[in-house]
Amino acid sequence: MANSADIRFLLVIQDSGSLTAASRKLGLSPSAVTQRLQQLEKKLATRLVDRTARTLRFTEEGQLLCRRGADLVQQFDALFEHVRHRRGRLTHVLA
């Protein structure tokens, strides 16, 4: 099953517009990005990105995963920030 790291990875590819640009942002080689993308596609049993030598186009499934995944990542980030903020308040109250 895919996880939030997989979604974040896919969002970097989408935001970057190319696997090469994504590899720079991720600090990975282009071949490592390609391998990780292939592993994610295998894990989900669907093609997420159609790639040719010059273009990168997300499939319907890839677009859906990015769109819904971006919403989930925002919700996770907000939740974790809320918990960190609450913990800070509770620490001050207890101290």
Query: Domain ranges in the chain?
Result: 4-94
What is the per-residue pLDDT across 61-70, written as a single tens digit (0 to 9) for each?
Answer: 999 999 999 9
Give the model's confidence band at 1: pLDDT under 50 very low, under 70 low, under 90 confident, else very high: confident
Nearest to 56 by CA among 88, 34, 35: 34
Q: What is the pLDDT of residues 2-45, one digit of tens each?
A: 788 999 999 999 999 999 999 999 999 999 999 999 999 999 99
Q: How far apart are CA 8 and CA 36, in angstroms?
A: 12
For the domain made up of 4-94, give the CATH fold: Arc Repressor Mutant, subunit A (1.10.10)
Residue 81 tokens read as 């920030």
pTM for the full predicted model? 0.82
Q: What is the pLDDT, as a whole number, of residue 95?
A: 46
